[in-house]
Structure 1
Amino acid sequence: MDRFLIRTDGNNNACEEESVVLNENEDVPKTNRRKICSSWIADFSDWLIKKETAAGDEELFCKVCNAFLKVSSGKSDLISHKNTQKHKTRSICITNGQTTIAEQFRNNTRETRLVQTLELQLSAFIAEHNLPFSCMDHLSLFLKKSIPDSKIAQQISCARTKTTNLVKNVLGPTQFEYLCQLLRKKKFSCVSTSRSIYPTRNHCA
C-alpha cells in the first residue's frame, strides 16, 4: 500500500500531527513519529507524563503501570491503554491506598525488612516442598496466634495470593537468574538418555 498523509487540524496548534501509514513490514521513520500533544497529558494528567528515555528522547510514560507507552495512532492508543486490565487493577490499588509488592520492598526500615524476609522464607518453603499456596491462609494466622510477643510475626500479611506472586514474580525469576549465572561459571555434566515410553526421543539430564 502506498504511503498517504493525513493532517488533523485542531484548536491547539501544538496538536497538529502527521500520521503516516506504512506497510506492516516497514519500520516507522524517526521523522514520521507522532508528536506528543500537550492536550493528551492534560486529559490524562492523573497518570500520564512526559519522561526522558535512556536514549535521551522524550516519550509518554504511565505512572500507574511504570512503563513507557508507544503511541502510533494518537489519543486512541492512550484510551486503549487506560482500558487494559493491568492499568485498571493498578489504578484501583492506588485509589484504595494499596501498594504493589515492588513498592512494599522499597521500605528500608529494619523491622519491615525482617517481615519481608520471613514472608519470602515462608513462600520459598511452600514452593520447595510443593505445598498448596492455600496453606498460607492458615499458616500466617497460626504464627500470629502462636507467637503473640513477636512484632515480626504479628506483621505477617502473606496469604495465598501474595505467596503466589512472591513465588512467581520474585523468587522464580531471581533463582532462575542465579542458576544461569552458576551454569555460566561452573562446569556441569549432560547425560543423554532415552525413555522407554518415548524410545525415539532423547532427553538431557
Structure 2
Amino acid sequence: MLSDSNNSSDDSGGGPSSSKRAKNKSYKQKFRPEWLKNKDFSSWLREYPKNPFKAKCSLCNTTMQADISVLKRHNAGSKHQSKVTSKFIQQPIVKLLQTSKSHSEEEKAKYAELKLAAFMAEHKIPHSSMDHLSDLLVDAFPDSNIAKNMKMKHTKLQVIINNVLEENVKNIERLTREQYKSSAWFELRYARITASTAFD
C-alpha cells in the first residue's frame, strides 16, 4: 500500500518528464496586425495572404512562422541586416536622382533663358519679339521639356538683361581690372588666346 502511494506521487508529480512535455508543446500563432506597427518590423514585415500562420519579409523575400520570437530572430540575422542596410543606402540615391533630374530640367530652362537673353541683347533684337518667340519655340520643339519650361516674355527678358546680365558683365569687368590692373592688357591677352585657339 505504501508503495502504491509512492508510485502515484511519481506519476502525477512535477518530475522532469512532465515539464519537458509542457515546454515542447507549441501552439501555432496567427499573424497579428499590431506587429506591423512595431518599429523593428514595420519596414519589412508583411502578412502572408495564403496562410494566416505565416509572415513574410519583403526585403529577403522569405516566409516564416508567424511568431514574435521567429520575427525577432529573423530581424537580427546577418542576411536580413545586410538587406536593411542596402535598402536605406539605396533609397536616398534614388531620391537624389529623381530630385536632381527634375531640378536639372528647371536649371536647363533658366540657362536657356539666360543664353537667349544674351543673344537678344548682343544682336539688338527688339524685346517685343520675345512674346512670339517663346511660343514659337514650344511649337517648334514639342518634345523639348526645356522649351516647355521656358516662361520668358519681353518683360522677363528686360529684367534678365538689366538685372542679371548687366550686373554680371560689370562684375567681370571690375574683377578683370582689379586682377590685371589694366583692361587693355587683358583685352590684348584675351585676343592672343582666342587667336591661338582659333587655329588649333
Larger radius of gyration: 2
> Could you state the TM-score of these two structures normalised by the residue count of structure 1?
0.39
Higher strand proportion (structure 1 or 2): 1
> Could you state the TM-score of these two structures normalised by the residue count of structure 2?
0.39
Higher helix proportion (structure 1 or 2): 2
